[in-house]
Amino acid sequence: MTLIDSTPVKVSRRAKATAGPGVPGRRGLRRHFRRYWQLWVMAAPAIAFVAVFAYVPMYGIQLAFREFDFSAGLTGGEWVGLKYFRQFFESPQFWTLMRNTVVISVTTLVVGFIAPIALALLVNQVIGPRRKKFLQTATYLPHFISIVVIVGMLQVFLSPSSGLITRFLEGIGITGVNFLGDTSAFVPVYVISEVWQHCGWNSIIYLAALASVDTQLYEAAKIDGAGRLSIVRHIDFPALVPTMIVLLILNMGGVLNAGFEKIFLMQNPLNLGVSEVISTYVYKIGILSNQFSYATAIGLFNTAINFVFLVVTNQIAKRVSNTSLW
């Protein structure tokens, strides 16, 4: 019979100090930076970029609680508290903006989340490396097209007078369709074009997850007589679940951040009732109308809602699947 010694082992101070880069030790950060200064030098540009463009501008959040005065600067205006938040909540456009933003954002999130997964599963089933590379390249190239060019293409294809798609529909007997001006067609056109542009690019991370699956699992499944659908259901899809959860959490952090540039370029007086979202309204109120405090309050409200969605989704994912960001 073997006895296991349960005497606690004392770890020396030197061993603690040399435990690794994540644990500096008792001698403080000086020794840590002296040993791993090369890593910190490599990370310095990224840290500086995030600090300058993400954290320093947060100083202007106080504009949401002040009466902005050009002569007094950011901190010299009169403190008005939640005045502009109440003004936005009581505005007749509040519910219209919220409805439009939620409809466009949630629809884009749902369709844009499912489409890359389906595309990655399909590409993974393509036989032959050349065919697979060609299909990958053809699907992710639209991601690099400028948004201005995309909207220009939509105007060329969907123009009510000379659009290619409009002419085709007229040839089969469907007339009087104005995709760019019809309020019921704006959201489908936006979502379909958004998925077409970014679906291939977003599927790359899923293809990377599928590439890490052990090939012996596929061989064993084929020996057992499993077809392609069974392989996708029992091998490929479970391998994507952790990646799907992480990306869903990240996407929920921007659930109300409907794409400003594309929506703004697609707007016209005919579809303004369904295309006016929080981001475009903030631009018009803040930049064009010079109501900086009011626009800051609206933007801060939008960010707070996104943060709540991020935290709630992360906690739900942590309890259900034990996968989370923190």
Return mean pLDDT, the chain. Answer: 86
Q: Which of 49, 115, 132 is nearest to 247 (CA)?
A: 115
Helix, strand, coil shares, percent, the chain, to 5:
70, 5, 25
* Amino acid 18: pLDDT: 46
> In the predicted model, is pLDDT for residue 41 greater than 50?
yes
Q: According to the model, what pLDDT value does residue 82 have?
A: 92
pLDDT per residue over 164-179, tens digit each?
A: 888 888 888 877 778 8
205-260: pLDDT as tens digits: 999 999 888 889 888 988 888 888 898 888 999 999 999 999 999 888 888 887 78
**Residue 141: predicted pLDDT:** 92
Q: Report the distance separating Cα 35 and Cα 233, nearest Å.
A: 48
Tokens for 120, please give them: 């990655």
Q: Measuring CA to CA, which residue among 305, 256, 277 is closest to residue 85?
A: 305
Distance CA 191, CA 111 (A): 8
Task: Please give the residue that has the higher pLDDT: either 293 or 255.
Answer: 293
The confidence score (pLDDT) of residue 4 equals 43
pLDDT in tens, 68-120: 888 777 777 888 889 999 999 999 999 999 999 999 999 999 999 999 999 99
- Cβ neighbours of 49 (radius 10 Å): 10
Examine the pLDDT at 57 and tell me if it is beyond 50.
Answer: yes
Confidence of residue 26 (pLDDT cuts 50, 70, 90): low
> Among residues of the chain, what percentage have pLDDT more than 70?
92
